[in-house]
Amino acid sequence: MTAGNGPVCISVINMKGGVGKTTIAALLGRYASRVLGLKVLAIDLDPQANLSQAFMGERYRQFLSDQDPSIVELFNDVRLPVSKSPSPTVLDVCEIVVGGTRLGGPNLQLVPSRFDFSDRLIKSIDTDRTVLDKLIADHFQDKDIVLIDCAPTESILTRIAYHASRHVLVPVRPEYFATIGFPLLHESLENFKRENRGHAIDVAGVVINNWSYHYSGNEGGPERHTSIEEIRREAKKNGWHVFETELPYSRGFPKMMRGDLSYSGDAPLYREFAKEFFNRLGIGKKR
Ligand SMILES: Nc1ncnc2c1ncn2[C@@H]1O[C@H](COP(=O)(O)OP(=O)(O)OP(=O)(O)O)[C@@H](O)[C@H]1O
Ligand SMILES: [Mg+2]
C-alpha cells in the first residue's frame, strides 16, 4: 500500500477463472481514465497477459517480437538478455511502461505481462513480495489509481498484489459453484492481514457479472436466481459488500478484449457499475 496521498490501489481477484476479472479491470481502467479524467496505471500480474492484449491489441504481437521489457524484467530487476543486446542491463522503470496513444488515451499507462512470467518467477529465488508496492511508491505517486489484474490461482503473485493494494474487487458469475473461490480468498486475505498488521486492505465488494445467461439467449431461469442468492449469502458471511449494479452481457466487452479500441466501455449498466464502484471508494471526477 502506498503511503500519503499516493494512488488508490485496487486488485481484481477471484480464485475462480473466467469470471470477468480482466474484462472488469480493463473497463474500470478505461472509465477512470476517459470519463473521470484520472491518471491510471494498470498492472498485468497474470502470465496469461490478457489485460496487456486487451489494452495493446495488435500492438501486443509487436511488443512480443520486439522483446520489449515487461513485468518479468521488473521481477528480475534487469533487462534480460535478448538477441538485440545479449547481456543483461540495468532496468530503467520507464522502459516497462506502455502508454499514451499506444493505449488509446493520454491518462492510461500499463505495465504489460508476458507468457514466460510464471516460469521466470518460479526460477527466481527470494522474490521480494513488496516489489509492486515499492514500484508504485518510488515511481507512480502521481497516479490517481492503480488497477492490478490477477491470475485465477493463488500464488506468490497474489501476495505481491495484496502488498500493493488497499482494495480488492471480486467479480463473480452467477452459475453453479459460483462462490467456490470465496473461502480461499477470505482465508488468504485474513492470513495476509494477520501477518501484515500495519497494512489496511479490504474487499471493496463483489460484482455480479451476468454475461453467460444473455450470451446463451436466456435470463438464466431459477439457477441464476439461486446462485445470486448464494453469492449474497456467502459474501455476507465474509462481511463483503455486493454491488447493486449487475453487469449484463455486452457484445462490446469481448471486442474490447481483442483490442478494438473503438469501444469506449460506456454501455449504460457498465457506466452505472463504474460510478457505483468509484463512489464507494470515494473517487470522483478530477475536473
Ligand atoms: N459481461 C460480459 N459480456 C460479454 N462477455 C464477457 C463479459 N464478461 C466476460 N466476458 C468474456 O468472458 C471471457 C472471460 O472473461 P475474462 O477474461 O475477463 O475473465 P477472467 O476472470 O479474467 O479469466 P481468467 O481467470 O482466465 O483470468 C472473455 O472472453 C470475456 O470477453
Ligand atoms: Mg484474466
129-160: pLDDT as tens digits: 898 999 999 999 999 999 999 999 998 899 99
Per DSSP, the three-state class of 252 is: helix
- For position 2, what pLDDT does the model report? 41
- For position 224, what pLDDT does the model report? 78
Residues whose beta carbon lies within 6 Å of some atom of ligand 1: 17-23, 46, 48, 50, 152, 209, 211, 247, 249-250, 253-254, 257
- For position 176, what pLDDT does the model report? 84
- Cα separation, 170 vs 189, whole angstroms: 12
- Cα separation, 181 vs 94, whole angstroms: 36
Sheet holding 8-12, edge to edge: 98-99, 108-111, 40-44, 145-149, 8-12, 167-172, 202-208
Residue 3 pLDDT exceeds 60: no
Between these two residues, 250 and 1, which has the higher pLDDT value? Answer: 250
Span from the CA of 235 to the centroid of ligand 1 (angstroms):
21
DSSP-derived letter for residue 102 is: G
For 136: left if phi > 0, alpha if psi spans -120 to 50, otherwise beta; the answer is alpha
Of 2-11, 58-67, 106-115, the range with the lowest mean pLDDT is: 2-11
Burial label, 82 (beta-carbon count in 10 A; 0-12, 13-18, 19+)? middle
- Cα separation, 188 vs 96, whole angstroms: 29
**Of 34-38, 56-60, 65-69, 184-188, which one has max mean pLDDT?**
184-188
Cell matching residue 63: 511488443
Span from the CA of 47 to the centroid of ligand 2 (angstroms):
9
Span from the CA of 116 to the centroid of ligand 1 (angstroms):
22
Ligand nearest to the CA of 214: 1
Residue whose CA lies nearest to ligand 1 atom number 28: 254
Span from the CA of 159 to the centroid of ligand 2 (angstroms):
17
Beta carbons of 253 and 211 less than 8 angstroms apart: yes
- For position 36, what pLDDT does the model report? 93
| Residues bordering ligand 2, an ion, CB closer than 5 Å | 21-22, 50
- For position 212, what pLDDT does the model report? 59
Long-range contacts of 87-93 (CB under 8 A, 24+ apart): 93/135, 93/138, 93/139
Q: Summarize the confidence of residues 185-205 as an average pLDDT.
A: 96
Q: For strands 8-12 and 108-111, give the pairing.
A: unpaired
Ligand nearest to the CA of 259: 1
Domain 8-278, CATH among 3.90.1150.10, 1.10.1270.20, 3.40.50.300, 3.40.50.150: 3.40.50.300
**Hey, which of 150, 246, 253, 271 would you mutate to test ligand 1's pocket, going by the most ligand atoms within 8 Å of its Cβ?**
253
- For position 266, what pLDDT does the model report? 61
Residue 243 pLDDT exceeds 50: yes
**Hey, which of 22, 210, 216 would you mutate to test ligand 1's pocket, going by the most ligand atoms within 8 Å of its Cβ?**
22
**Hey, which of 12, 23, 272 would you mutate to test ligand 1's pocket, going by the most ligand atoms within 8 Å of its Cβ?**
23
Beta carbons of 253 and 23 less than 8 angstroms apart: yes
- Cα separation, 195 vs 173, whole angstroms: 31
Q: pTM of the predicted model, to two decimals?
A: 0.91
Could you state, in order of their start, the residue ranges of all structural domains in the chain?
8-278
Span from the CA of 149 to the centroid of ligand 2 (angstroms):
7
Beta carbons of 210 and 247 less than 8 angstroms apart: yes
- For position 48, what pLDDT does the model report? 93
Residue 89 banded pLDDT, cuts 50, 70, 90? low
Residue whose CA lies nearest to ligand 1 atom number 31: 254
Ligand nearest to the CA of 255: 1
Span from the CA of 171 to the centroid of ligand 1 (angstroms):
10
Amino acid occupying residue 234: E
* Average pLDDT over the chain, rounded to an integer: 85
- Cα separation, 82 vs 67, whole angstroms: 7
Ligand nearest to the CA of 210: 1
- For position 193, what pLDDT does the model report? 97
DSSP-derived letter for residue 97 is: -
Q: For strands 167-172 and 98-99, give the pairing.
A: unpaired
